[in-house]
Structures are given as structure tokens and as C-alpha cells.
Amino acid sequence: MTPDVRPLVAGNWKMNGTRECLTEIKAMAEGVQGALSEKVETLICPPATLIYVATALATDSPLQIGGQDCHQKASGAHTGDISAEMIADCFGTYVIVGHSERRTDHGETDHIVRDKAAAAHDAGLTAIVCIGETADQRDAYETLDVLKRQIFGSLPPGATAENTVIAYEPVWAIGTGLTPTATDIAVAHSFMRAELVEFFGDEGRRMRILYGGSVKPANAAELMAIDNVDGALIGGASLKAKDFLAIYGVYEGLTA
């Protein structure tokens, strides 16, 4: 963890979840109550169809609700898209941008991701900007080069520690059950911290860097204890309140 930085445990539900899954949101909202919630921030990003109802369920809870993507524009002829303003209008507070599945499936470039992050800021949302290398890039020893390029290409000039979170998700580890070694993660996060400080100064020193990529209750304690790992962006394990809360609960020991 980074000293004096409040960790963030965030869940990305991806294209999963209908109204019957809202019982999991309710259980999460109830489970993050208490003293630990003052030390650790929690967030769930369900499908856009559930954002409004999810925020209602979490009204009296520290649990935050966010979106999984937003368009670069505030409105317009963009059938099927959702704007950052629409997420904010549903009382969402965060939005994920630049996830590898968006970059791969929809051809999103660093430039597009930067514009989406700026749109999130304009709407008063905190942007979680995802970066990470593919298996081929890793095998070619290009990981740090990719991270540097994506950091400087995907972050808008107005990024601050308050409105921007970085999520490092090795593409080859997402949903595969594979996880980099603790040393690999420490090297990547230390490198990203140095680059953020060089570009953003003190803001970069305080900017949270999450780890994502097959985070589970079984490996969360080891991952979250690594220097410069300021929380997690969780995929499948965030669909069940029991697993999400188990990962959140790891911080009881780490912040004691």
C-alpha cells in the first residue's frame, strides 16, 4: 500500500447482472458498514441498466456505485452509448474507462480513453483508467514500455488524485486464473508511481494505483500488501457479496 492513501476495492461486473442480482448489492452495502469503511473505500460498477437502482440500495451505505464505460461526448447521436452525465444523473460517482476489453473489442485507443476520462471529470465523476500489457507484449519484455505509453496517452492534463485512479490489469491475467508474481507486480506498480510523479508531481504521488487480474479472496492479502498497490479492480469475484467482502476484509489486518 501507499502511505496516507485510502485504498479502493472496486468491482467490475462487466456484462453480468439482472435485477435478481441486486440482492448481492444490498448485501455488499450492508457489509461495508463500520470502522473499516472509513479506512477503505468500496465501489461496484454494475451494468448501466442497474446503476440507478443500485445507488438507491446503497443510499445509506459507504458503498459507491459507478459505470463501466462512458462516451466522450455529453450527448448526441451515439446510439447505444451512455454519457458520463447520464451516470452522474443516476447518482453514480465513478466510471471505468479504457478497460482492455473495450480497447480490444471496440478498438479504443489511448486518445479515446483520454477523452473519456476528461468527459468523466467534466461530469464530476472519478475516472478509473485501465492500463496493461498483452501476453505477447509481456513475452517481448515490453511491459514497462506499454505502461508508460498508456499512462501518458490515456490520462488527461487535468487528472488529479481526487478525480483519477489507475488500474493495472495485465491483459493476459484477466479472467484466466493466472497472476503475475508479487515481484512482477511490485516492479510494475513502482514504475507507474515514478512515472505518475514525474508527470503530475505531488498529485501523482497520491494517485491510487489498483491491481486487477484474477484477484480472489485466496490471493488478495498477498496482492494488497505489495508496495504501491492501493486496492483492487475485481472481476468475477465481485459478483458475489461473500467474495467481494472477503477481499475488502483483508484490509482489517493491513490497516490495523
**Residue from 24, 41, 133, 169 carrying the catalytic annotation:** 169
Choosing from 99, 101, 121, 133, the catalytic residue is 99
Helix (H, G, I), strand (E, B) or coil at 24: helix
CA distance 108 to 130: 12
Three cell numbers written together for 248: 475488502
Which H/E stretch holds residue 42?
strand 41-45
Rounded to whole angstroms, how far apart are CA atoms 15 and 48? 9
- Residue 192 vs residues 36, 132, 143, 189: alpha-carbon distances, Å: 27, 11, 11, 5
Known catalytic residue at 99: yes
Listed in order, strand segments (DSSP E) in 75-230 are 94-97, 126-131, 164-168, 209-212
Quick check: is 169 catalytic?
A: yes
Grid coordinates representing 147?
505502461
Beta-bridge partner residues of 165? 128
List residues with catalytic annotation.
99, 169
